[in-house]
Amino acid sequence: MSDVTERIALVTGASQGIGRACAVELARRGRTVALAARNLERLGEVCREIEHAGGKARAFPLDVSSEESIKACVRSVLAQFGRIEILVNNAGITRDGLAMRMKRADWEDVLSTNLTGAFLLTQAAMPSLLKTRWGRVINITSVVGEMGQAGQANYAASKAGLIGLTKSIARELASRSITVNAVAPGYIETAMTAVLNDEQKAAMSAHIPLGRPGTDVEIAHAVAFLASEEAGYITGHTLDVNGGMYMG
């Protein structure tokens, strides 16, 4: 599918993994991409990768756990590009541990980054989206938010919350031709899953009907579709990209 309409996209957590793949794919499809994350050095590498392929990108510092950082990032993107039409809320963290022993700080850090950060970014981008009267908001949730996971109560709660947030904001913005959807990856080969040992990886793959983990590029393709003109009649939806691991 070719989509060369020039739109301005803001992708959070774009320095690596799924965020990087989403930024690269959106740029390949003609979007101008604002890359946002804490690691400016890595963002610079992604920018150069996109520009080398003929795309347009610029890096912006962002800490999604900080409301001031979120507001400053959005102001900078608007100052540079004039508008935000596509927002990909991808940035997230994990602080795993059994619920009985989970520290409150680990609970709050994950909720603040993964859920509150996505809400505040969407809120900050809304004036631009409403003014343009066209937009795509795509939240990266997780299969864990749909089916739960022992040792990840905080992460699962944050990702389940993103699904509820997606549906609610979708209803609020629909009258302005702005769609809000979520993509729920399953077991994807990223830096976040690289910490798993071979036994854990094999156990997870055994529960996937397609028999393998997914790739960040496969998630990026789903995001790019939801960000496209062709997806204009899809909103409030969670697109599962999990190889059949969860069939809700």
DSSP strand pairing (56-61 vs 32-37): parallel
CATH number of residue 96's parent domain: 3.40.50.720
SS3 state at 209: coil
Structural domain harbouring 124:
8-239
Sheet-wide strand order for 56-61: 56-61, 32-37, 8-12, 86-89, 135-140, 178-185, 238-241
List pLDDT tens digits, range 4-56. 568 999 999 999 999 999 999 999 999 999 999 999 999 999 999 999 999 99
Residues 118, 38, 45, 15, CA torsion sign: negative
Helix axis angle, 117-132 relative to 153-173, nearest 10°? 20
- Count of domains forming the chain: 1
244 domain residue, yes or no: no
- Give the integer Cα–Cα distance in Å for 18 and 239: 15
| In-domain check, residue 181 | yes
Q: Within its chain, how far is the Cα of 158 from the centroid?
A: 13
Which DSSP category does 40 fall into?
H
Residue appearing with tokens 């520290």? 103
Decide if 147 is inside a domain. yes
Helix (H, G, I), strand (E, B) or coil at 56: strand
Q: What is the chain's mean pLDDT, rounded? A: 95
Q: Is 155 a catalytic residue?
A: yes
pTM score above 0.75: yes
Find the catalytic residue in 155, 187, 233, 246.
Answer: 155
Per-residue pLDDT reduced to its tens digit, 163-205 = 999 999 999 999 999 999 999 999 998 776 777 788 877 887 8
Asked whether residue 246 is assigned to any structural domain, the reply reads no
